[in-house]
Structure 1
Amino acid sequence: MSLDARIQQSVVVNLSNRPAPVHVGPFVIGVDPTTANPNINYATPRPGAAITGADVADLVAAFRDADRVPRLEYVVGCAPELEPLLVAAGFAVEARHTYLCCRPETLRATATPEGYTLRAPDNDGERAALIGAQHDAFGGGSVASAEDVARMRRAQDAGGVALMAVTGDDVCVGGAQGIPPSGGLSEVAGVAVRAPFRRRGLAGALTADLTGRLFGAGVEIAWLEAGGEDSWRVYTRVGYQPAGQRLYMALR
């Protein structure tokens, strides 16, 4: 199986493990009843599946039935015919991202900046602090809902990894997560550092440490997406390498 197909299949499995997944022809929608956030409730195609305009129409209807915004994320190489079908149905491109991969032999050890500690949250209070730091870093406020915390707890219970960066007085200033592994792969997501604590090497330390923990748990390939030039530099510096393209499309 190609790397593109392995990445795509891992996303299919991740969405299928959501609390209320919906399977529609060649697609799976990862529905989470606790939130309507389109960044959580989205669909992806099964790698290599034949897709028609009728399949896309059925997908849109399933999103409407679930009271969710029709939205997809997928590896372009696994469904090259899908974009024009989505455009014809009224979808628009939100983003095109390069995904990067890291293997144990390419990971570069990165020191944690002096005065900070990296550790996994082991109670709901620490999970809330981590999520709050991520929300703050991404401009979404600093409050973690009970549903956010429960989602992180479920991911950890399923084999995912969460990591928080804390100061000497135990204030969480950033964090990252590794999605529960599937087929030897895990996605690294939510790498975030609060603005006052950036440019100190924390993002690189979080990424490298989290990735190392995933490899220690048996993951063969960790993958992620860079949101801009700064994060691209961070990720390539710790051993991630460009590997393929992902596409985000939505019907608003």
Structure 2
Amino acid sequence: MDLRIQRSVVSTLRTRPKAVEIGPFVAGFDPDTASPFVNYATPIPDVPITAADVDALIGAFTGAGRKPRLEYVVSTTPELEELLLGAGFTVEVRHRYLVCTPQTLTVPPVPEGLSLTEPTTDPQRAALSAATAEAFGALWEASEADVIRLRRSQERGGIAIAAFTASGECAGGGQATPPSDALCEVAGIGVREPFRRRGLAAAFTAEITRRAFDRGVDFAWLEASGGDSWRVYERIGYVPAGHRLYISKN
């Protein structure tokens, strides 16, 4: 499972507007944003890595005007962390990811007064992008580039779900990456403060996951940032699995 997920991350980065292969790494650069959450690299499984490879990776990020940063499943390249730390990288966070299968998924009801829809127009995509940015504490500013990335993902088979009130206000939503090796990542799950604690995150996470399974995905995976979100995802059928590392160099 760890290997399949890491391979899917590699495949996803290879679809970025400016994907670059640097020895045993794939870096996904986006010219429309300098966000480190969008621009990062990951190792290719089963390919040896040396300190010189890490230096080359740093050089590629520097040349692109981006912060050197990686995300990867730890078990697939266990020797990499020591090399990165030796090159001046700092661990941002370690996450344990969760997985769900069609057999374990439970789809809860949608909270009253809200409806779930897949954005099909750019204004709907913009509303979803703005709502999730707000839900994450404005760590980034929603922009036209977010709309473009979301539209591009949907065109390649990715899924997006937004929750709207009857008046058209977006309460939050989330996405799933285009399928790769019959799996996908569910990500960007965010609910705006006025709509929290009503079961909405569970509802649209389950709906995104259900739609992924309807499109032939074998299992979906996601990461939880804290105890509350863990409980949300476990209630709809996600179970803890492997570990991922986020690490960067200032």
Normalised-by-shorter TM-score class: over 0.9
Q: Tell me which residue corresponds to 1:126.
A: 124
State the 1:144 CA deviation: 2.9
Structure 1 vs Structure 2 CA RMSD: 1.0
Q: Is the 8 A contact 1:71 1:251 kept in 2?
A: yes
Q: Within 2, Cα distance between the matches of 1:49 and 1:238?
A: 36
Q: Which runs of 4+ in 1 moved over 2 A?
A: 141-144
Using the size of structure 2 for normalisation, the TM-score is 0.98
Matched, 1:245 2:223: no
Q: Tell me which residue corresponds to 1:231.
A: 229
Task: Provide the secondary structure at the position in 1 that maps to 2:49.
Answer: coil
Q: Within 1, Cα distance between the matches of 2:12 and 2:139?
A: 26
Using the size of structure 1 for normalisation, the TM-score is 0.97
Alignment partner of 2:31 out of 24, 30, 33: 33
Which amino acid counterpart does residue 119 of structure 2 have in structure 1?
P
- Number of residues paired by the alignment? 250
Q: Give CA deviations for 1:121-150 in whole Å, capped at 9, x if unaligned.
A: 010000000000001101117963111101
Q: Give CA deviations for 1:98-120 in whole Å, capped at 9, x if unaligned.
A: 01000100101211111110010
State the 1:36 CA deviation: 0.6
Structure 1: any 5+ residue segments left out of the alignment?
Answer: none
Q: Within 1, Cα distance between the matches of 2:125 and 2:61?
A: 30
Q: Tell me which residue corresponds to 2:71.
A: 73
Q: 72-81 or 106-115: which moved more?
A: 106-115
Q: Within 2, Cα distance between the matches of 1:74 and 1:128?
A: 29
Alignment partner of 2:85 out of 65, 84, 87: 87
1:99-248 alignment runs, 5 A limit = 99-140=97-138, 144-248=142-246
State the 1:20 CA deviation: 0.4
Which amino acid counterpart does residue 184 of structure 1 have in structure 2?
A
Q: Is the 8 A contact 1:26 1:50 kept in 2?
A: yes
Q: Within 2, Cα distance between the matches of 1:238 and 1:26?
A: 37
Q: Within 2, Cα distance between the matches of 1:38 and 1:65?
A: 15
Q: Percent identity?
A: 56
Q: Within 2, Cα distance between the matches of 1:77 and 1:144?
A: 34
Structure 2: any 5+ residue segments left out of the alignment?
Answer: none
Q: Within 2, Cα distance between the matches of 1:218 and 1:115?
A: 31
Q: Is the 8 A contact 1:132 1:141 kept in 2?
A: no
Is the alpha carbon distance of 1:182 and 1:132 closer, same or farther for their aligned partners in structure 2, counting shifts above 3 Å? same
Q: Within 2, Cα distance between the matches of 1:109 and 1:158?
A: 25
Task: Provide the secondary structure at the position in 1 that maps to 2:62.
Answer: helix
